[in-house]
Structure 1
Amino acid sequence: MDRLSDYLIFCDMDNTLLTAKEGIPSCNRTVIKLFTSMGGRFTVASGRPPESIRAALGDLSLSLPAISCNGSLLYDFQSNRVLRHASLDQNQASIAIREILQKFPRIGVEVMAGAGEMYVIHANPYTHAHQVDEHLSGISCPLESVPDGWLKVVFAGDPETVRKVGQYAKGRYYGRSNYFLPTNQIYLEIMPTGVGKASGMEQLCTLLGARMEKTIVIGDYYNDLEMMKKAGYAVAVANAPSEVRAAANEVTSCGCSEGAVGEFLYRFIDRVTGI
């Protein structure tokens, strides 16, 4: 007979677990606490760095290490240490940043390095909102002053500009060590090749000796798709785009702000325990 502790649940944060303006719905907090108190294993898989994840969770404790910075960091909040760190090719990323800024001078540019510290290379209203909404303390500095150990680059702007930046990047060659990843309508990121939420999930399963068929992913956006496809079971929240909903085994009846994660977890507790 299955137990809740047999499963590892990986939950995206923004527009899945929470909204930047409203935070985590109270029903999500209540059901997650119930789930973990019954032995369930729950964590987040997010583009956010550890500092931002900690601020957003508040009194909500994770029972597993978190996938942070879209998979570039595995971070254990219980021991406050980095378990895995994947770095960009800084030379290739620097060339891309300089060319894109020259072509799109209003685009915002951030670099996350080290243990998720954020360095603002070129500020705009979207980088400011990013810092405010995700409780990030950014450091303004020129590109050449960013410390080594880059985790990812974030381009931030209005949806149309970000779309054009993505199209421009597709037509350029910046080497094979990095790749471009759209993570939101207003964000486009550069990530290390082979690194993503899915690779973070696989790494964590290896560390824990867990089976992939016992993983469950809850997501809402295109950067969740690879992780959803590799998981044993995939859940999309109702507000996800149609392609993401089509890739899921199950779609919640309500959206993020109505408590989609709590809705699924409550049904899952009943499904496994019969309580």
Structure 2
Amino acid sequence: MIDSLRDLLVVSDMDNTLLTAKEGVPACNRATIELFRALGGRFTVATGRPPASIRAALGGTRLSCPAIACGGSVLYDLEADRALEKSFLPLAAAREAVTAVMEQFPDMGVDVMVEEGRVYVVQANRYTQAHLRDEEIGCIMCPLEQVPCNWAKVMFAADPIAILNLQKFARGLHFDGMYFLPTNTIYFEIMPTGVSKAQALRRLCARLDVPMENTVVIGDYYNDIDLMRAAGHAVAVDNAPPEVKLAADEVVASCTSGGVGEYLYSLIKRYT
């Protein structure tokens, strides 16, 4: 039962939901997050970004509780600057899968996130370069065999047609302990089996003693749908694809129009 803002946990996707890489977090979102937190509401993010990139994108905007980072592979406490939980890919199988993709798609960009989100660029292209620049992610360039163990996830980056072809190719790849996930029209990822934003939300709620029915998720893309379905209430921003809007209980303004702030303010009016 929700009687006040203190009973709620609001979790927002970041890219194209809370912010854009070019424009950052709209001022109205920043102001409303601060007000929501000051009045007792709990707010955090669920994102494919590593912790360092989350911190850089948020600037001075603080979260109320740990962030769901690296697509759910990491629960990270930004205040304490430490990982609370980490999940990893099976190393031999992940290396085999990446090798197969690189042989089939020699121009594919390949990033590996290790541990709590250190990024190793195995193969660069203009999409990986733009990703690292826009998300303010530091990286290490190295061949695949020199990437350290404990892989949180792998990200492939290319133009939309190449990513669609990669998705078709990946349907014929079968490796225990991992699965493939499209996260953008230009990104395709490998994640550990059983690891997702939705599963990370369940683990976070268990840590915070928050019932799942008291959670709100705000998202914009297909990889947010499972997270939205797991939450007590699902919200989509207006720039989301139609299928994502259909999975939501309600739709708010677009990312650049401050849809997250608009929704948080509606909660403030309802519960204060």
Given the two structures, how large is their TM-score scaled by the length of structure 2?
Answer: 0.98
Hey, what does 2:45 align to over in structure 1?
A: 44
1:29-49 CA deviation, whole Å, 9 max, x = no partner? 011111001011000000000
Answer yes or no: is 1:147 the counterpart of 2:143. Answer: no
What is the one-letter code of the residue matched to 1:187? Y
Hey, what does 1:16 align to over in structure 2?
A: 17
Q: How far off is 1:90 after superposition?
A: 1.3
Q: How far off is 1:172 after superposition?
A: 2.0
Q: How far off is 1:110 after superposition?
A: 0.4
Hey, what does 1:107 align to over in structure 2?
A: 108
SS in 2 for 1:82: strand
1:40-73 CA deviation, whole Å, 9 max, x = no partner? 1000000000010000000000001000000000
The root-mean-square deviation of aligned C-alpha atoms, in Å, is 0.8
SS in 2 for 1:79: coil
Q: How far off is 1:267 after superposition?
A: 1.0
1:6-40 CA deviation, whole Å, 9 max, x = no partner? 00011000000000000000000011111001011
Q: How far off is 1:269 after superposition?
A: 1.0
Q: How far off is 1:228 after superposition?
A: 0.4
Hey, what does 2:200 align to over in structure 1?
A: 200
What aligned pairs does 1:216-255 form with structure 2 within 5 A after superposition? 216-252=216-252, 254-255=253-254
Hey, what does 2:190 align to over in structure 1?
A: 190
Aligned pair count reads: 271
Q: How far off is 1:120 after superposition?
A: 0.2
User: What is the CA–CA distance in structure 2 between the aligned matches of 1:127 and 1:90, rounded to whole Å?
Assistant: 22
Hey, what does 1:89 align to over in structure 2?
A: 90
SS in 1 for 2:130: helix
Hey, what does 2:132 align to over in structure 1?
A: 131
Hey, what does 1:158 align to over in structure 2?
A: 159
User: What is the CA–CA distance in structure 2 between the aligned matches of 1:177 and 1:212, rounded to whole Å?
Assistant: 26
Hey, what does 2:258 align to over in structure 1?
A: 259
User: What is the CA–CA distance in structure 2 between the aligned matches of 1:46 and 1:115, rounded to whole Å?
Assistant: 13
SS in 2 for 1:13: coil
Given the two structures, how large is their TM-score scaled by the length of structure 1?
Answer: 0.97
What is the one-letter code of the residue matched to 1:130? H
